[in-house]
């Protein structure tokens, strides 16, 4: 069942014993991160910090930092002096387990949505060949069409309070400073709404937002992201302002939709309607021509000037390392709207495992049917959380011919965000790629480094600090399948994997209770 709003989701977590309220005074400057990090790494509950008290936000001096790229000596680890009682509680780790990630998507287990997608994509032969077009038409023509399309409403709780002009003061929000060397406080769970300047199509992405001052922020649009491309297109059309709305909260299905690797042309709010089985209600912003979820906690409206850049970062990132300070667009906030008594949604990223691990694992499982529609030989895939998802992929396939593994490697490197994968390991279909022990056994048993390796180059995640250049680097694939005669010069008989006969296993299953073992 869809949630009325973010706080309805929190109450559901509380009723199921998945939410812990913290009344002890805790600072958004590093302290919430340290608590949340310990809880995330111990499979602990969602947290609601009800008494957020700490120093005024350390906003720093970005122009000064731009002259010094060896930043560790610039930021003291002690908090600035003074104390502020931030008016809103902070919720974190709300999707930090399989159980909570499933609850966030209004189901018992998020694999249910993979099954729903698989049925939708089982389209007639005359359906379009494009994956994006196939999914779009499936959503429009499917049995759940009435719940997918968003609908506009005139009012929403997200606009119970409206602040413009001098009323805007973002420093009053409990924005987290996560790590000691961060360039400042960051909005870590923002849904960034934009529109294509040519087609008007909506995009919702998740890009971190650094707080600069009372009404100015950094907008971390990486080079491969849709938001950056749309802003560049707006600049090409001569636009001086590219409008944005940054949304906090609402049904958690919105957050998942924002991080989902949807094909081009698929509206994130349509997909959110599919997930929650209920239309997303959108209300028009006060100062920009953008519609946002009416049930949001807080909305920041504004614009970027495509010609303006400012130093953003450094930031402790999901890679487990700090991403370095770089020049990024500047977000000018023209209006802040919110509900009465909002809750500030947040997350942290850093050395895995973190909350984002379960968000990424849900993406992997739910979108498997779309991957298999494009590459049907794929049986299963595991993007390990500890490898930050985009670094390593373990893939099992139905091998049909010599060299089949290399075909899959190239397919993966040409498939949406999987194109950023640095290391791809291909296994036979009887390999459980979710079992790292089995993966390592098969890798060691079946891969000859002098024969079964393919090197390539291509786009890499912009945050990858090990690549030869920003956003571009090397890739490697490993054929860990059983080798066929003549494959890559293999001329010997390939041995069989040791397996017990089925009749003996059945016999021992019958007598096992009698053995006292």
Residue 148 gets the label, from left (phi > 0), alpha (psi -120 to 50) or beta, of: alpha
Q: Is the same domain home to 341 and 415?
A: no
- Residue 380 and residue 266 in one domain: no
**Which CATH number do you get for residue 209?**
2.30.110.10
CB 483 within 8 A of CB 489: no
3-state secondary structure of 449: coil
Q: What is the pLDDT of residues 311-345, one digit of tens each?
A: 999 999 988 899 999 999 999 999 999 999 999 99
Q: Is the same domain home to 315 and 440? A: no
Give the per-residue pLDDT at 125.
46
What does the DSSP 8-state code read for residue 129? Answer: S
Q: Are residues 298 and 447 in the same domain?
A: no
Question: What pLDDT score was predicted for residue 124?
Answer: 56
Residue 53 covered by a domain:
yes
d(CA 304, CA 334): 11
In the block, residue with structure tokens 């694992």: 361
Question: What domain count does the chain have?
Answer: 2
Using alpha carbons only, what angle is made at residue 353 by residues 91 and 48, rounded to the nearest 5 degrees?
10
Q: What is the pLDDT of the chain when averaged over all its residues?
A: 89
From 317, 380, 461, 479, active-site residue: 317
Q: Given this model, what pLDDT does residue 69 score?
A: 36
pLDDT value at 406 more than 90: yes
Domain with 399, as residue range(s), is 375-489
Query: Are residues 218 and 112 located together in one domain of the fold?
Result: yes
- Are 334 and 380 found together in one domain? no
pLDDT at 65 over 70: no
With bands split at pLDDT 50, 70 and 90, how would you rate the model's confidence at 5? very high
Tell me if 1 is assigned to some domain. Answer: no
Write the DSSP assignment of 27-86 as a string of letters.
Answer: -TBTHHHHHHHHHHTTT--EEEES-BEEPPP----HHHHTT-S-GGGTS-SSPPSS-EE-
Which helix H or strand E contains 145, and what residues bound it?
helix 145-148
Active site residue 182: no
Rounded to whole angstroms, the Cα distance separating 188 from 316 reads 11
Look at residue 247 and tell me if it is in a domain. yes
> Poorest-confidence range of 11-20, 109-118, 226-235, 286-295?
226-235
Question: What's the predicted TM-score (pTM) here?
Answer: 0.87
Sign of CA dihedral 490, 492, 493, 496: negative
Looking at the predicted structure, is the pLDDT value of residue 403 above 60?
yes
β-strand partners of 312: 326
Residue 341 and residue 404 in one domain = no
Phi, psi of 443 (to 5 degrees): -60, -50
Q: Which two tokens stand for residue 249?
A: 């909260």
Q: Is residue 451 part of a domain?
A: yes
């Amino acid at each position: 069942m869809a949630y009325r709003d973010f706080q309805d989701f929190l109450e559901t977590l509380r009723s199921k014993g998945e939410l812990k309220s913290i009344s002890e005074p805790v600072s958004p400057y590093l302290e919430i991160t340290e608590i949340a990090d310990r809880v995330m790494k111990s499979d602990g509950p969602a947290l609601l910090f009800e008494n957020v008290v700490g120093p005024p936000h350390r906003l720093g001096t970005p122009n000064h930092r731009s002259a010094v790229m060896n930043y560790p000596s610039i930021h003291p680890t002690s908090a600035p002096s003074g104390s502020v009682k931030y008016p809103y509680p902070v919720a974190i780790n709300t999707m930090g387990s399989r159980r909570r990630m499933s609850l966030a998507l209004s189901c018992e287990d998020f694999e249910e949505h993979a099954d729903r997608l698989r049925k939708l994509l089982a389209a007639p032969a005359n359906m379009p060949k494009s994956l994006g077009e196939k999914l779009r038409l499936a959503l429009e023509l499917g049995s759940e069409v009435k719940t997918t399309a968003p609908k506009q409403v005139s009012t929403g709780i997200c606009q119970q309070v409206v602040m413009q002009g001098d009323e805007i003061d973002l420093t009053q929000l409990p924005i987290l400073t996560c790590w000691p060397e961060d360039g400042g406080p960051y909005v870590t769970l923002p849904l960034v709404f934009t529109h294509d300047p040519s087609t008007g199509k909506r995009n919702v992405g998740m890009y971190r937002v650094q707080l600069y001052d009372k009404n100015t922020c950094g907008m971390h649009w990486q080079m491969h992201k849709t938001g950056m491309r749309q802003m560049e297109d707006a600049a090409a059309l001569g636009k001086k302002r590219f409008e944005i709305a940054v949304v906090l909260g609402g049904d958690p299905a919105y957050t998942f939709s924002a991080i989902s690797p949807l094909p081009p042309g698929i509206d994130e709010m349509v997909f959110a309607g599919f997930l929650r089985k209920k239309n997303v209600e959108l209300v028009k912003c006060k100062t920009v021509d953008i519609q946002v979820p009416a049930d949001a906690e807080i909305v920041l409206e504004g614009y970027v000037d495509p010609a303006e850049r400012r130093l953003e970062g450094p930031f402790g990132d999901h890679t487990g390392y700090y991403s370095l300070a770089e020049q990024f667009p500047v977000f000018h906030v023209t209006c802040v709207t919110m509900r009465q008594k909002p809750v500030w949604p947040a997350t942290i990223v850093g050395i895995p495992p973190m909350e984002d691990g379960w968000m990424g694992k849900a993406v992997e499982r739910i979108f498997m049917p779309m991957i298999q529609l494009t590459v049907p030989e794929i049986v299963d895939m595991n993007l390990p959380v500890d490898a930050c998802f985009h670094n390593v992929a373990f893939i099992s396939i139905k091998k049909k011919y010599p060299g089949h593994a290399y075909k899959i490697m190239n397919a993966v490197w040409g498939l949406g965000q999987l194109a950023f994968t640095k290391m791809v390991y291909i296994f036979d279909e009887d390999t459980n790629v979710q079992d790292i022990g089995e993966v390592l056994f098969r890798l060691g048993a079946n891969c000859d480094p002098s024969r079964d390796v393919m090197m390539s180059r291509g786009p890499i995640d912009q945050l990858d600090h090990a690549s030869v250049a920003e956003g571009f680097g090397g890739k490697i694939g490993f054929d860990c399948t059983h080798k066929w005669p003549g494959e890559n010069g293999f001329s010997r008989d390939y041995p069989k994997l040791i397996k017990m006969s089925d009749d003996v296993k059945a016999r021992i299953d019958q007598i096992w209770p009698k053995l006292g073992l």
